[in-house]
């Protein structure tokens, strides 16, 4: 609706010759609504982006000052950059075996997380729904869940290696078993908290169980589910690095371990920053997805 | 006699652990087709429980509900409920909330286009067609309740059950909505069973008022015919002798003979 209006404004502005000194002022005045919106957006973005940038810069300076002395056990940021320049600027090389660019390592890790986490999301929501819906399922399963969820992820690895006799499925299993608990528990809480009113509506309208699940349960419990899914993705990214250190092969976890074995401390630091950034992005992705899906659910 | 809706010797006892509470005792009531019946009583007398039993959301301990001589004991769209707190699904738009019921009830009998038209028809009956794409959080309390009424009406129920439908609304909105419900009843001739605790509302809207004694073991204390001609006008009734007499009877019942001791 506002498109034609903006167009006429733009063409009206374009008419006066640009050489006149004054038009700069009139232009901003005339295009006020649009320019103002941009200015506000820029301001808001700056307010969010500038403070962390300053903090990071300060930390880098302090780190540089501390680690620049001779005999320091860790490299300063300048040296890290110099050592890892090739890895940063060429993430796609592939010399066979595990001698690959960081892109390949990260994508291998992300792939394992994708498999394990997707399975966990499906199983977690299904089991959570069962436990939330049925009192007997809760009585039977909840104590079991409470015990199993306290087992550290890596403690599952030897057992899964014994069961699967292969690194890849074992790593995926570790991701699954790590991230499934918060999804189950939060989904169950969400299902249990569905207001009786919604159940009554469903009963009067005579929704069948499948319709009740898709039309009432999922949307009503979605905010809780996404809390669980968000915790789950964080945990699975935590677990993959540790698991890969043990199973070896291509993957960011083993890359770090390999770098340590060859005393390439700078590479470890680079890999850690990638792991952190990707973990952050994954968390934001799930949070953003949750925001879109649960729009309107929370407000009543 | 062929009663349209018959509540037949209904008892309801709640059991929690070893403690049992008898809420309703021997409720008998017959309602004719097209009749508007209100159930009034103090809070806690079990009138909402009674409505839930008719709706099939709660089971009766003894006795049962007959609709056109067939026993009903599970919820269904033939006894659509307008809930006190509207109970619209917040993730659906106004249109989708009404459509949820329509799609189930008319899945086989109406085409997609017909169902769509039917939803819009019912929304316009309650003057909510303009807000069809809004979500419940974006409309006022009175509008939500209108949509709740449209959702119930759209299922073409044999009996419309209203559970204190105006209880959560302010006085002006309430009056406005009462007029709307009266007009709808006039136009569509629905059979309506309404729970209320508002004496004026009961007299204004009903053909008969069922007065309940206090619980536990609440019974039907008295049934009052309201012999006022329809359509009724709120302002004219304010000085109408028949209206005032009915009002007086209900007030006497509620505040003299069955005053609520533990009034909270």
Q: Are B4 and B111 contained in the same domain? A: no
Model pLDDT for residues A141-184, shown as the tens digit of each residue: 999 999 999 999 999 999 999 999 998 999 999 999 999 999 99
- Using the 3D structure, point to which of B109, B138, B156 is the last residue of a domain: B156
Q: Are B172 and B129 contained in the same domain? A: no
Q: Are B243 and B188 contained in the same domain? A: yes
pLDDT of residue B256: 82
Give a yes or no: residue B84 inside a domain: no
Q: Are B68 and B195 contained in the same domain? A: yes
B80 reaches A (C-beta below 8 A):
yes
B113 pLDDT more than 90: yes
When the pLDDT of each residue in chain B is averaged and rounded to a whole number, the result is: 89
Q: Are B178 and B255 contained in the same domain? A: yes
Give a yes or no: residue B83 inside a domain: no
Model pLDDT for residues A260-273, shown as the tens digit of each residue: 999 999 999 999 99
A299 pLDDT more than 50: no
Model pLDDT for residues A92-134, shown as the tens digit of each residue: 888 887 788 899 999 999 999 999 999 999 999 999 999 999 9
ipTM of the complex: 0.87
- Using the 3D structure, point to which of B129, B156, B183 is the last residue of a domain: B156
- The mean-pLDDT minimum among B15-29, B91-105, B145-159 falls in B15-29
A291 reaches B (C-beta below 8 A):
no
Range of the domain at B110: 89-156
A203 reaches B (C-beta below 8 A):
yes
Q: Are B74 and B121 contained in the same domain? A: no
- Using the 3D structure, point to which of B156, B181, B200 is the last residue of a domain: B156
B-contacting residues in A 216-235 (Cβ below 8 Å): 216, 219-220
pLDDT of residue A129: 93
Q: Are B144 and B263 contained in the same domain? A: no
B5 reaches A (C-beta below 8 A):
no
Q: Are B144 and B172 contained in the same domain? A: no
> Are residues A296 and B101, on separate chains, in Cβ contact within 8 Å?
no
Contacts of A206-214 with C-beta under 8 Å, sequence gap 24+, read A206/B75, A206/B76, A206/B77, A206/B104, A207/B100, A207/B104, A211/B104, A213/A129
Give a yes or no: residue B214 inside a domain: yes
Give a yes or no: residue B46 inside a domain: yes
For residue A13, what pLDDT band results from cuts at 50, 70 and 90?
A: very low
Of A90, A94, A58, A92, which is closest to residue A77 (Cα–Cα)? A58
What is the nearest CA distance from A154 to chain B, expressed in angstroms?
A: 40
pLDDT of residue B264: 45
Model pLDDT for residues B61-88, shown as the tens digit of each residue: 998 899 998 898 899 899 999 988 888 9
> Are residues A203 and B56, on separate chains, in Cβ contact within 8 Å?
yes
> Are residues B90 and A300, on separate chains, in Cβ contact within 8 Å?
yes
> Are residues A198 and B83, on separate chains, in Cβ contact within 8 Å?
no
Q: Which residues of A touch B135 (CB under 8 A)?
A: 296, 299
Give a yes or no: residue B135 inside a domain: yes
Percent of all residues in chain A with a pLDDT value above 90, rounded to a whole number: 64
B59 reaches A (C-beta below 8 A):
no
pLDDT of residue A107: 94
For residue A191, what pLDDT band results from cuts at 50, 70 and 90?
A: very high
B116 pLDDT more than 80: yes
pTM score = 0.78
B136 reaches A (C-beta below 8 A):
yes
A21 pLDDT more than 90: no
pLDDT of residue A12: 42
Q: Which residues of B touch A216 (CB under 8 A)?
A: 89
* Closest Cβ opposite residue B55 in set A204, A297, A299: A204
> Are residues B100 and A205, on separate chains, in Cβ contact within 8 Å?
yes
For residue A295, what pLDDT band results from cuts at 50, 70 and 90?
A: confident
Q: Are B163 and B233 contained in the same domain? A: yes
List the CATH number of the domain containing B261: 3.40.50.300
A3 pLDDT more than 60: no
* Closest Cβ opposite residue A219 in set B56, B87, B91: B91
Q: Which residues of A touch B90 (CB under 8 A)?
A: 296-300
Q: Per the structure, how many domains does chain B have?
A: 2
A4 pLDDT more than 50: no
B-contacting residues in A 171-200 (Cβ below 8 Å): 197-198, 200
B141 pLDDT more than 60: yes
Model pLDDT for residues A209-254, shown as the tens digit of each residue: 999 998 999 889 999 999 999 999 999 999 999 999 988 888 999 9
B160 reaches A (C-beta below 8 A):
no
For residue A22, what pLDDT band results from cuts at 50, 70 and 90?
A: very low
Q: Are B229 and B134 contained in the same domain? A: no
Q: Are B65 and B95 contained in the same domain? A: no
Give a yes or no: residue B112 inside a domain: yes
Model pLDDT for residues A53-90, shown as the tens digit of each residue: 999 999 999 999 999 888 888 999 998 999 888 888 88
Q: In the structure encoding, which two tokens stand for residue A235, read together?
A: 């945990």
DSSP-assigned letters across all residues of chain A: --HHHHHHHHHHHHSS-TTSSTHHHHHHHHTHHHHHHHHHHHHHHHHHHHHHHHHHHHHHHHHHHHH-STT-SS--HHHHHHHHHHHHH-TT-B-STT-B-HHHHHHHHHHHHHHHHHHHHHHHHHHHHHHHH-HHHHHHHHHHHHHHTTS-GGGHHHHHHHHH-SHHHHHHHHHHHHHHHHHHHHHHHHHHTS-HHHHHHHHHHT--HHHIIIIIIHHHHHHHHHHHHHHHHHHHHHHHHHHHHHH-SSSHHHHHHHHHHTT-HHHHHHHHHHHHHHHHHHHHHHHHHHHHHTTTTS--
pLDDT of residue A30: 52
Mean pLDDT score, A198-215: 91
A133 reaches B (C-beta below 8 A):
no
pLDDT of residue A298: 52
A92 reaches B (C-beta below 8 A):
no
B177 pLDDT more than 50: yes
Q: Are B28 and B45 contained in the same domain? A: yes
Q: Which residues of A touch B101 (CB under 8 A)?
A: 204-205
């Amino acid at each position: 609706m506002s498109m034609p209006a903006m167009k006429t404004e733009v063409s009206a502005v374009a008419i006066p010759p640009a050489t006149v000194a004054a038009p700069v002022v009139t232009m901003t005045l005339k295009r006020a609504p649009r320019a103002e919106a941009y200015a506000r957006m820029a301001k808001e973005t700056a307010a969010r982006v500038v403070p962390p940038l300053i903090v990071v810069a300060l930390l880098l300076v302090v780190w540089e000052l501390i680690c620049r002395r001779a005999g320091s056990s860790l490299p300063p940021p300048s040296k890290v950059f110099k050592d890892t320049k090739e890895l940063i600027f060429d993430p796609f090389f592939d010399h066979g075996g595990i001698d690959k660019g960081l892109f390949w390592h990260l994508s291998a890790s992300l792939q394992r997380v994708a498999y394990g986490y997707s399975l966990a999301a499906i199983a977690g929501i299904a089991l959570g729904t069962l436990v939330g819906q049925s009192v007997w399922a809760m009585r039977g399963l909840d104590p079991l869940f409470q015990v199993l969820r306290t087992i550290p992820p890596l403690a599952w690895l030897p057992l899964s290696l014994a069961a699967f006799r292969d690194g890849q499925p074992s790593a995926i299993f570790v991701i699954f078993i790590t991230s499934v608990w918060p999804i189950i528990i939060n989904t169950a809480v969400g299902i249990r908290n569905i207001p009786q009113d919604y159940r009554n509506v469903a009963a009067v309208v005579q929704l069948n169980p499948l319709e009740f699940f898709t039309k009432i349960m999922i949307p009503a419990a979605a905010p809780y589910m996404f809390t669980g899914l968000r915790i789950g993705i964080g945990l699975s990214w935590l677990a993959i690095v540790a698991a890969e250190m043990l199973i070896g092969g291509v993957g960011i976890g083993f890359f770090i371990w390999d770098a340590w074995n060859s005393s390439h401390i700078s590479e470890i630091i680079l890999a850690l920053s990638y792991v952190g950034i990707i973990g952050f992005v994954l968390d934001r992705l799930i949070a953003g997805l949750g925001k879109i899906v649960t729009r309107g659910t929370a407000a009543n | 006699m062929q009663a349209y809706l018959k509540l037949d010797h209904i008892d309801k006892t709640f059991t929690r652990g070893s403690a049992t509470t008898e809420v309703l005792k021997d409720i008998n009531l017959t309602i004719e087709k097209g009749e508007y019946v209100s159930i009034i009583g103090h809070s806690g007398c079990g009138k909402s429980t009674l409505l839930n039993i008719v709706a099939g959301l709660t089971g009766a301990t003894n006795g049962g509900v007959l609709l056109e001589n067939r026993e009903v004991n599970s919820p269904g769209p033939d006894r659509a409920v307008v809930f006190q707190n509207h109970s619209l699904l917040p993730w659906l738009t106004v249109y989708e909330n009404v459509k949820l019921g329509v799609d189930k009830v008319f899945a086989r009998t109406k085409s997609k286009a017909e169902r769509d038209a039917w939803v819009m028809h019912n929304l316009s009956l309650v003057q909510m067609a303009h807000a069809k794409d809004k979500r419940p959080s974006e409309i006022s309390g009175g509008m939500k309740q209108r949509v709740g009424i449209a959702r119930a009406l759209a299922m073409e129920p044999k009996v419309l059950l209203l559970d204190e439908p105006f209880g959560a609304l302010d006085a002006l909105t309430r009056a406005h909505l009462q007029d709307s419900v009266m007009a709808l009843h006039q136009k569509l001739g629905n059979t309506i069973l309404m729970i209320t605790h508002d004496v004026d509302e009961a007299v204004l809207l009903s053909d008969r008022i069922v007065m309940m004694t206090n619980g536990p073991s609440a019974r039907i204390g008295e049934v009052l015919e309201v012999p006022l001609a329809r359509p009724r006008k709120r302002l004219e009734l304010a000085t109408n002798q028949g209206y005032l007499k009915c009002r007086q009877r209900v007030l006497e019942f509620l505040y003299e003979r069955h005053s609520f001791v533990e009034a909270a």
